[in-house]
Amino acid sequence: MKYIAKYLLLLLLMNASSSLLAQDSSAIKNAMLIYHPELDARKQITDAVKIAKQQNKHVLLMVGGNWCRWCRMFQKFIETDATIDSLLKKDFVMEHINYSKEVPNLETLKALDFPQRFGYPVFVVLDVDGKRIHTQNSSYLEDGEGYSKERTLEFLNQWSSRALDPKQYEQVIKK
């Protein structure tokens, strides 16, 4: 009888701990939900372009899904690096465009010239009129098992509206 009681107690403790671990795992997973499949991707882009036009910024679309480990890693990377976070907020309106088996947004991706050919995440830069001006394969921003701050800053600086302003490149010819 003593052994049965110990066995039942052990089972009860194991069940309780596995339940707590499952809740922790679920909470962690939910905290990293950066894509929202329930949103209308076309509306996300249209709204971002309106804001970008008002603020004279470009739109940076990060296409991927909550299933994508590299997408979550990039999001954490930009949120924890003050320089990159600041530059992003200064020069871009950023939107996360979902791609998943359940909600692939294929028509939206077609309109963006099929960025999924580069894998995920993939970055698409739009100008203030919503025209695609660049698609960036994220592998160029990677460094080992993470992302390169130097390459990410270079990418953001090269595709900001400031960098593409023709006035930056006018030469004054003195006679």
Mean pLDDT of the region 104-130: 97
pLDDT at 74 over 60: yes
pLDDT at 150 over 80: yes
**For 75-101, what is each residue's pLDDT tens digit?**
999 999 999 999 999 999 999 999 999
Mean pLDDT of the region 32-47: 96
Fold of 41-166: Glutaredoxin (3.40.30)
pTM, entire model: 0.81
Report DSSP letters for 110-165, one per residue. Answer: HHTT-GGGG-SSEEEEE-TTS-EEEEEEGGGGEETTEE-HHHHHHHHHHTSTTTT-
Smallest Cα–Cα separation from 128: which of 169, 160, 175? Answer: 160
Q: How confident is the model at residue 167 (pLDDT cuts 50, 70, 90)?
A: confident
Segments making up each domain of the chain, as ranges = 41-166
pLDDT value at residue 27: 44
pLDDT at 31 over 60: no
